Every structure is written in C-alpha cells, then in structure tokens.
C-alpha cells in the first residue's frame, strides 16, 4: 500500500478494555466468530433496508458473508457486502466507545472484581477479535461511496494505537482480516470453523459461505493426477469454492420443531448483546386480519439500566417482511416490560415506517397488545412450571413489573396474579402470591390486609400487626419503594378489596363482648384521652383507645381515605408538598404505661408520659420526630424517677 497512513491513539479506556477482553475471555475465544458474523449480519440488514428505501437495484451479488482462511499466512478473513463504513465511521465505531453500556462497563471495571462476568454482561463485539488475533485489519467501503474511497483500519494487539489508510474495494461492504496468534491456529481449520459457525450462528438469515478448500491445498497433486498436462492451472481452480454452512432463513420464519435450543439462545445473544442465556422465550405467528410473527425472550439477568424508565435500552427489533427496520422499537411493548428482548416481523407495516408513523399506527397497537399478552402468558407458565426459578425472576424484575399494575388497566388482574409478597406468615423472601393468600383466608375474613413500611423489619415488627398476629390473620408486608404507588392502584383481587392495617377501622371478626369492653374502657379513659389530645393538639387529630395493639403501648393511624404516613414521608423526602393531615394516636389500655396515665396526678408527669407515647408511635413506624429533644427530655425525666 503506497498511500499515506494516519496514526490514531485508542482512547485510554479502550486500551484498557482490549487488554481485559483479551485476558479474561481467553477461554471463550471462539466468540469472536459469532461477533464478527453478527456484525456482518447487522450490516447486511442495513444494506438491504437501504436498497429498498432508495429503490436501488444495482445490487450485483446476493447479500452474504464469506469466511476464508490461509494456514500458511495464519490468516482468517470475513467478508460481507453490507452497508460498510467510511473512514470517519471506522474511527468512530472501532476506535471509541459509542455504546453507553460499554462506557458504563469501563467505569465499573476498575472497581469490580468479577471482570469476566461484567464483560460478559455487556458484550464485547468487535473487540473479541483481539483475543485470538495478532493483527486485525478492517477494510471497508460504505454503501454508495466511490470504490476508490475505501478505507483500511489496522491495529496490532497490545499496542495503544491503530492506523487508517485509503484503500480500494470492488464493492461496498467490509473485509475483516485477522492474523491469528500461534496459540489460536485451530481456527484455520475448516472443520473447526464449520463447527463453531453452525453452533453459534445458524440463526443468521444471510448465507454464510465457508471456503471449501484451504488455498494451499488447491495445488495439491492428488486432484490433478488425471490431467495429462498440468502446466496451466485453470483460474477457477485458484479461486476458492464456497459452501453454505447455515440455513440462511430468518429464524422466526422457521418451524419451532426445526429450531434447536442452541439456535434460540444464539439468536437471543445476537439481538440482545447479552452473553447469558435467556431464561425463557415465546415464538409465535399471528395470522388473520393482521399478520406478524416474532420471538420474545425473557433475559435471566437485569440490564444495568433497568431502573431508568426514560434512558432505557428496551424495545424490540422490528422487521417488516423480513427486512430490518429498526432496533429498540419501544412502541411495540409497554414500558413496564422493557426488560423483554426480541424481534417482531410485521407483514402490514410499510417498509419505510418511521418511529412517528409507528407511534400512531393501528398495527402497532395490535402488535403491542399481542406482545403484552404473550409475555404475560410466558410469565404465568414460568411461575407454574418452575416456581423456584420464577422467584428468581421476581427478585430481579418484580419491581419493574409492578409498574404495570398502574399503567396497564386491561391486564391488571393478570399482573396482580404474577406478584409475589412476603407476609407475617412467610419469611423475608417474597414468595406468596395473592391467589395463595386468598386461598388460605378464613371464611370470616373479607379483605386482603397489608402494611407498608420502609423495610421488611420495620413492617414485620410494626405495632399495627399485633392484633392480626393475635387473631392469626395473614398480612402482606410491603417494603419496596414502589409499593405505595402499587397499593394505590391495586383496588381488588378476586373481588377482595385491599386494606391497610394502619388505616381506618379494622372490624374483622369483632365480637359483641369485645366491642362493649372497649366502650366501657373508653368511658373510663375519657378524661385521659381529652387531656392527651390537648397536649398533642398540634400533632394529632385525635387520641383514642386502640383495637390494634396487644404488646405496644401506642401507634399512629390515619383514616381510610387519607394519605398514609409512609407515603407522606416518601413525598417529603422527595421534596414534594404534602397535605397537612394529622394522624390519630391510638393507645393500648391494657398496657402498663397507659394505665399509668390513668392514675397520674401530676400534670407535668402526665405531659411527659403523653410525649413519650407519641414519640414511640412515630419512631416505631420509622418516622421522624419534629422535636426529638422534647421526646428525649421526657424519656430521661421518666427514667430519672427510676434511679
Ligand atoms: P455492536 O455490534 O454491539 O454495536 P461491535 O463492537 O460489534 O458492537 O461493533 C461496533 C460497530 O462497528 C457496530 O455497531 C457497527 O456500526 C460497526 N461495524 C462492525 N462491524 C461492521 C461490519 N462488518 N460492517 C459495518 N459496520 C460494522
Ligand atoms: Mg457487534
């Protein structure tokens, strides 16, 4: 090459990444084949899409990927006639980290110890070639550019720079030429290559052509034996012969029975950039008024950005009549299912469909509804078939799924059916379904009870649970951030309403005798309650005797229609204005502290006791005292009396 080459430095983090990839993925070396073929396939999809959109008919060769090798030179070459890259793109795509996931990966690499796992989670793509190659050379011509304007990109493993130089190519596309390291020469073997390609890339919808004979064997004497005159070799014998080694049909168009588990898994890795296998998938074909097919995958691990609803890398890959249209089409699936990966191939959408058209199309709505139902069915089957694995899914994706209860009214019941909770009768793990809860409710119980707190411990030990424990009633313990929002949307399940144990009346299973006893007590405590209410008038709405408490002396409650104290605290923490509704202080008349109030003659001591009981109630629900000093002083005063 006589033309001028330009030297570029890899960005520091890329060098770091290259070294890490080369070292930590040593054992998975063969993934470079999958990654290169996957990139070629993407490029071919884009080229085909480009041709269709521009009405171009100048395509000479069929779209395909060619793999050839030369043992003597240790060369392994991948050629595609896809969209190609110009000089700027080569520098941008192969020399910097474009993908936000990857830059996040690099940030984490310095801190985390499980580097192998991390790299696997993000997908290494093109850089995997550095595991096996001494030199990586990419020559590319962008679709539509002058054949004289191709560019070659070259890097030597272990160096921190790469060079680019002008080149020529006959047709647009990309040639990736690797000079393999001595210890990876096994990939210069036809049998080995075919084995890896069919194992990991059979789902690719373009033909993958593997060179039939290594070039050095074309001069083998055995085949020229019967030729009387071997002076001139036919040119056709010099150029390699090719054999197609894959099915080359879009995997979703094939019959389920003809697709192996491995094919499904490889295809998942291709579209998701996840190195783990998916935990389940659903392959379907819809016929009738609207026709579309697809495969939906449930990943086994959460993507790093699962929590971000707006910055998500969600959505499905969209094809129209086998032609690739776009990645991450998030119009096709609700936001709360953003962890689902997959493809949809529609026969109804136009080939030039844009995101805007997609947004407003009726076809999109139908696809979205069907996709949602498919995913829910997949999850229901998951929970039924392998309940233990489903709990792992729930742990990872449960909070995301909960968003759906408020967002997807038409599927609310099915979503509620998929929820798992902990309760005062289970351990900390969220394993209880609402169906199981309802199934073991006694006849007399009319509602589904729950409590919300900041943590499992705070929920499990709440004074509000005391009477439920005594009466052996099951209460759901909710303690995830999103749960306040969740309960505001889950009005009913199997015709049972939900009831917070910290709110309003709890008339469950109350006997006439109990009622009378309480009325009697309330009369006795009349002056105590009045006096306490006066003292606390700026903090509570009312002071009354409690039906909830058995062990604790006091707790706070709000009315059914009022905002819970927990939600109020959450909103306050988020800097939002909250309505100024005061809670009710409930006192346990059986408790000795409350008894004490009854007999207290000193006004000063009475006030200390009231402040103390109020403070305990606030603290027991992880609340914050507006005036902790007064509380502490009251407690200290009371303790001093004991000394
Ligand atoms: P990813 O495929 O996840 O984007 P890669 O490291 O595999 O990451 O590739 C980086 C980018 O380089 C691709 O997104 C693509 O734009 C470009 N690229 C790689 N290989 C090819 C190819 N054969 N043809 C055209 N572009 C390619
Ligand atoms: Mg790639």
Which whole-number Å values give the CA distances from 167 to 43, 87, 148, 154, in the listed order? Answer: 20, 10, 7, 12
Among 331, 357, 383, the domain boundary falls at 383
152 in any annotated domain: yes
Which ligand places an atom closest to the C-alpha of 143? 1
Q: What is the pLDDT of residues 386-405, one digit of tens each?
A: 999 999 999 999 999 999 99
For ligand 1, whether the C-beta of 304 sits within 6 Å is no
Q: Which atom of ligand 1 is nearest to the CA of 127?
A: 6
**CATH code of 127's domain:** 3.30.565.10
- DSSP H or E segment with residue 280: strand 280-286
CB within 8 Å of 523: residues ≥ 6 apart: none
Question: Residues in the chain, how many?
Answer: 643
For the chain, how many structural domains are there in total? 4
Which ligand places an atom closest to the C-alpha of 272? 1
Residue 221, pLDDT above cutoff 80? no
147 in any annotated domain: yes
Same domain, 364 and 331: yes
Tokens of residue 41, six digits: 């396939």
Asked whether 479 and 429 are in contact (CB, 8 A), the reply is: no
Asked whether 364 and 348 are in contact (CB, 8 A), the reply is: no
SS3 554: strand
Q: How far is the CA of 185 from the centre of ligand 1 (A)?
A: 24
227 in any annotated domain: no
What is the C-alpha separation between 635 and 593, in angstroms, rounded? 12
- DSSP H or E segment with residue 484: helix 483-487
For ligand 1, whether the C-beta of 43 sits within 6 Å is yes
- Between residues 50 and 113, the one the model is more confident about: 50
User: What is the reported pLDDT for 220?
Assistant: 47
Q: What is the pLDDT of residues 50-93, one digit of tens each?
A: 998 888 877 778 999 999 999 999 999 999 999 999 999 999 88
Q: How far is the CA of 437 from the centre of ligand 2 (A)?
A: 47
Which ligand places an atom closest to the C-alpha of 129? 1
Which neighbouring-strand residues pair with 558? 503
Same domain, 478 and 519: no
What is the C-alpha separation between 228 and 231, in angstroms, rounded? 9
For ligand 1, whether the C-beta of 139 sits within 6 Å is no
Under the banding of pLDDT at 50, 70 and 90, the label for residue 228 is: very low
For ligand 1, whether the C-beta of 126 sits within 6 Å is yes
List, edge to edge, every strand of the sheet that includes 584-587. Answer: 542-545, 584-587, 554-557
Q: What is the DSSP letter of 623?
A: -
Mean pLDDT of 107-124: 56
Q: How far is the CA of 36 from the centre of ligand 2 (A)?
A: 7
For ligand 1, whether the C-beta of 45 sits within 6 Å is no
- Between residues 104 and 49, the one the model is more confident about: 49
User: What is the reported pLDDT for 125?
Assistant: 79
Among 466, 500, 534, the domain boundary falls at 500
What is the C-alpha separation between 157 and 179, in angstroms, rounded? 10
406 in any annotated domain: no
Q: What is the pLDDT of residues 516-558, one digit of tens each?
A: 888 898 999 999 999 999 999 999 999 999 988 989 999 999 8
User: What is the reported pLDDT for 630?
Assistant: 84
For ligand 1, whether the C-beta of 125 sits within 6 Å is yes
Mutate to test the pocket of ligand 1, among 38, 104, 126 (most ligand atoms within 8 A of CB): 126
Same domain, 155 and 177: yes
SS3 545: strand
Q: How far is the CA of 125 from the centre of ligand 2 (A)?
A: 4
**Mean pLDDT over each residue of the chain, to the nearest integer:** 87
617 in any annotated domain: yes
93 in any annotated domain: yes
Same domain, 119 and 187: yes
**CATH code of 315's domain:** 3.30.230.80
DSSP 82-111: SS---HHHHHHHHHS---HHHHHHHHHHTT
Which of 26-30, 160-164, 308-312, 388-392 has the weakest average pLDDT?
A: 308-312
Tokens of residue 397, six digits: 């994706």
Same domain, 178 and 83: yes
33 in any annotated domain: yes
Tokens of residue 109, six digits: 């690499």
Mean pLDDT of 306-333: 85
**CATH code of 424's domain:** 3.40.50.11260
Q: Which atom of ligand 1 is nearest to the CA of 84?
A: 25
Mean pLDDT of 376-386: 98
User: What is the reported pLDDT for 119?
Assistant: 53
CB within 8 Å of 606: residues ≥ 6 apart: 531, 535, 597, 600
Residue 377, pLDDT above cutoff 90? yes
What is the C-alpha separation between 305 and 104, in angstroms, rounded? 10
Mean pLDDT of 39-52: 93
List, edge to edge, every strand of the sheet that includes 316-320. Answer: 280-286, 292-298, 341-346, 316-320, 323-329
Mean pLDDT of 106-132: 65
DSSP 281-344: EEEEEE-SSS-EEEEEEE-SS--TTTT-SSS----EEEEETTEEEEEEEGGGS-GGGTT-EEEE
Which neighbouring-strand residues pair with 449? 475, 499
Same domain, 526 and 615: yes
Residue 116, pLDDT above cutoff 60? no
Which whole-number Å values give the CA distances from 218 to 67, 209, 222, 367, in the listed order? Answer: 17, 18, 10, 53
Of residues 153, 14, 11, 7, the one with CA closest to residue 90:
153
Which ligand places an atom closest to the C-alpha of 136? 1
Under the banding of pLDDT at 50, 70 and 90, the label for residue 232 is: very low
Residue 252, pLDDT above cutoff 50? yes
Closest CA to ligand 1's atom 15: 93
Mean pLDDT of 9-23: 75
Same domain, 11 and 159: yes
Same domain, 142 and 288: no
User: What is the reported pLDDT for 505?
Assistant: 76
Among 456, 478, 500, the domain boundary falls at 500
User: What is the reported pLDDT for 421?
Assistant: 97
User: What is the reported pLDDT for 194?
Assistant: 95
Residue 568, pLDDT above cutoff 70? yes
What is the C-alpha separation between 607 and 161, in angstroms, rounded? 77
Under the banding of pLDDT at 50, 70 and 90, the label for residue 233 is: very low
Looking at the chain, the whole-number percentage of residues with pLDDT higher than 70 is 89
Same domain, 350 and 479: no
Same domain, 446 and 548: no
505 in any annotated domain: no
Of residues 600, 587, 521, the one with CA closest to residue 550:
587
Mean pLDDT of 163-190: 96
Same domain, 124 and 204: yes
Same domain, 429 and 516: no
Mean pLDDT of 290-310: 88
For ligand 1, whether the C-beta of 82 sits within 6 Å is yes
**CATH code of 552's domain:** 1.20.120.790
Tokens of residue 152, six digits: 């070659």
User: What is the reported pLDDT for 1?
Assistant: 47
Looking at the chain, the whole-number percentage of residues with pLDDT higher than 90 is 57
Instruction: Give the distance from CA 214 to its chain's centroid.
Output: 44
Strands 161-167 and 150-156: antiparallel
- Between residues 365 and 599, the one the model is more confident about: 365
Q: By residue range, what is the domain housing residue 367?
A: 251-383
Query: For the chain, give me the number of helices (H) and strands (E)?
Result: 23, 22
- Between residues 543 and 225, the one the model is more confident about: 543
- DSSP H or E segment with residue 363: helix 362-385
């Amino acid at each position: 090459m006589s033309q001028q080459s330009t030297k570029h430095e890899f960005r520091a983090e890329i060098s770091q990444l290259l070294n890490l990839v080369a070292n930590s993925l040593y054992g998975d070396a063969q993934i470079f084949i999958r990654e290169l073929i996957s990139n070629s396939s993407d490029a071919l999809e884009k080229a085909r899409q480009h041709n269709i959109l521009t009405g171009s008919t100048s395509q000479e060769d069929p779209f395909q990927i060619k793999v050839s090798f030369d043992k003597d030179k240790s060369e392994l070459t991948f050629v595609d006639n896809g969209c190609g890259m110009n000089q700027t793109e080569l520098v941008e795509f192969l020399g910097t980290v474009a993908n936000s996931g990857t830059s996040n990966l690099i940030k984490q690499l310095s801190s985390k110890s499980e580097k192998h796992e991390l790299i696997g989670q993000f997908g290494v793509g093109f850089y995997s070639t550095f595991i096996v190659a001494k030199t990586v050379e990419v020559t590319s011509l962008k679709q539509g550019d002058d054949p004289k304007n191709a560019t070659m990109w070259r890097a030597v493993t272990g160096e921190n720079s790469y060079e680019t130089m002008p080149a020529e190519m006959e047709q647009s596309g990309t040639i990736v030429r690797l000079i393999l390291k001595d210890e990876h020469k096994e990939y210069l073997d036809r049998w080995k290559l075919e084995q890896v390609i069919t194992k990991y890339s059979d789902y690719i919808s373009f033909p993958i052509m593997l060179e039939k004979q290594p070039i050095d064997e074309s001069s083998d004497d055995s085949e020229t034996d019967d030729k009387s005159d071997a002076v001139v070799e036919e040119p056709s014998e010099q150029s390699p012969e090719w054999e197609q080694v894959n099915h080359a049909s879009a995997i979703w168009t094939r019959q389920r029975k003809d697709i192996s588990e491995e094919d499904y898994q490889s295809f998942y890795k291709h579209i998701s950039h996840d190195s783990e296998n998916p935990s389940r998938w659903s392959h379907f074909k819809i016929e009738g008024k609207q026709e579309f097919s697809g495969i939906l995958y449930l990943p086994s691990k959460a993507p790093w950005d699962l929590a971000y609803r707006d910055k998500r890398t969600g959505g499905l890959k969209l094809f129209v009549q086998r032609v690739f249209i776009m990645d991450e089409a998030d119009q096709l699936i609700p936001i709360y299912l953003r962890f689902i990966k997959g493809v949809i191939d529609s026969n109804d959408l136009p080939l030039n469909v844009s995101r805007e058209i997609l947004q407003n199309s009726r076809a999109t709505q139908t696809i979205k509804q069907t996709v949602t139902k498919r995913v829910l069915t997949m999850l229901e089957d998951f929970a039924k078939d392998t309940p233990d694995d489903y709990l792992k899914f729930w742990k990872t994706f449960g909070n995301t799924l909960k968003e759906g209860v408020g967002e997807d009214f038409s599927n609310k019941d099915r979503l509620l059916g998929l929820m798992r909770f902990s309760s005062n009768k289970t351990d900390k793990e969220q394993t209880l379904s609402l169906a199981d809860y309802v199934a073991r409710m006694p006849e007399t119980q009319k509602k589904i009870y729950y409590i919300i707190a900041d943590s499992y411990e705070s929920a499990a030990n709440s004074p509000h649970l005391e009477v439920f424990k005594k009466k052996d009633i099951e209460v759901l313990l909710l303690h995830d951030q999103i749960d306040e929002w969740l309960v505001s949307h889950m009005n009913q399940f199997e015709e049972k309403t939900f009831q917070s144990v910290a709110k309003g009346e709890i008339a469950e299973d109350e006997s006439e005798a109990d009622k009378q006893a309480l009325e009697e007590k309330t009369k006795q405590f009349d002056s105590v309650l009045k006096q306490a209410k006066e003292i606390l008038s700026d903090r509570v709405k009312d002071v009354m005797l409690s039906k909830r408490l058995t062990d604790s002396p006091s707790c706070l409650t709000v009315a059914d229609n009022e905002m819970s104290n927990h939600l109020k605290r959450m909103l306050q923490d988020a800097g939002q204005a909250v309505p100024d509704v005061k809670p009710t202080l409930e006192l346990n008349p059986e408790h000795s502290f409350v008894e004490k109030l009854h007999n207290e003659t000193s006004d000063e001591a009475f006030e200390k006791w009231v402040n103390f009981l109020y403070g305990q109630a606030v603290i027991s629900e992880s609340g914050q005292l507006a005036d902790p000093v007064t509380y502490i002083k009251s407690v200290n005063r009371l303790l001093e009396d004991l000394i």
